[in-house]
């Protein structure tokens, strides 16, 4: 297992080992002891899976507020996406910064996102699947988000606002400046 640093130290890309032979492929995508050894000591309690049928689908930027803030471990088993996290921790020196990376099926990379961040993505291929572990169960009353194309975030999305496929709910999310404090 290899850890790749990002511009925000708490956000990390984790590359797991893959074994290929005549039968196919095998990889361990999660092992608590190995993740603890690289400094990711999170009790994941829930897994989720989604498929976006069309390229250009944007989901996010979502978060879950305290007391049930969610750390996430993102993996793409099929397809390709542009993944983004935004630091919402007001006391952080990287508040408002973002990290963006591409994840794709077969690349053996996962993105670790601690609680305190908004997460979103844009699919770059049809039928892109995303699987993620979360450290807290879904709590709709604590669920929120930030407008994905807020210019203050400076995210270079691979799709324009006119071309993006976005839910009505995500299209109405507030800009970061209008969000108010969520995480300390």
Residue 65 has pLDDT above 90, yes or no: yes
| Strand-pair category, 2-5 with 12-15 | antiparallel
CA–CA gap between residue 79 and residue 145 (Å, rounded): 25
Q: Beta partners for 171?
A: none
Confidence of residue 141 (pLDDT cuts 50, 70, 90): very high
Question: Would you identify the CATH topology of the domain 2-179?
Answer: Jelly Rolls (2.60.120)
Rg (CA), the chain: 16
**3-class secondary-structure state, position 103:** strand
Which pTM value belongs to this model?
0.94
CA–CA gap between residue 55 and residue 47 (Å, rounded): 23
Domain ranges of the chain: 2-179
* Residue 50: predicted pLDDT: 96
Residue 106 has pLDDT above 90, yes or no: no
List the catalytic residues: 62, 132
Q: Six-digit token pair at 77?
A: 């088993």
* Residue 96: predicted pLDDT: 97
Residue 52 has pLDDT above 90, yes or no: yes
* Residue 82: predicted pLDDT: 98
Kindly report the average pLDDT of the chain as a whole number. Answer: 96
Using one digit for the tens of pLDDT, what is the confidence trace for 13-43? Answer: 999 999 999 999 999 999 999 999 999 999 9
| Strand-pair category, 109-113 with 143-145 | unpaired
Q: Beta partners for 184?
A: none
CB 116 within 8 A of CB 124: no
């Amino acid at each position: 297992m290899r850890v790749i640093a990002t511009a925000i130290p708490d956000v990390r890309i984790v590359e797991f080992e893959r074994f290929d032979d005549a039968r196919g492929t095998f990889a361990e995508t999660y092992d608590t002891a190995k993740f603890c050894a690289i400094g990711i000591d999170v009790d994941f309690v829930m897994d989720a899976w989604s498929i976006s049928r069309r390229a250009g689908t944007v989901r996010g930027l979502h978060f879950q507020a305290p007391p049930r803030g969610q750390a996430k471990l993102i993996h793409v088993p099929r397809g390709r996406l542009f993944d983004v996290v935004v630091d919402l921790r007001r006391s952080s020196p990287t508040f408002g910064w973002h990290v963006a990376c591409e994840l794709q099926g077969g690349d053996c990379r996962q993105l670790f996102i601690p609680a305190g961040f908004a997460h979103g993505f844009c699919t770059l291929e049809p039928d892109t699947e995303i699987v993620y572990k979360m450290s807290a169960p879904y709590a709709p009353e604590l669920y929120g988000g930030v407008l994905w194309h807020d210019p203050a975030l400076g995210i270079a999305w691979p799709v324009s606002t006119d071309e993006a496929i976005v839910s009505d709910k995500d299209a109405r999310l507030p800009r970061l400046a209008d969000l108010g404090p969520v995480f300390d």
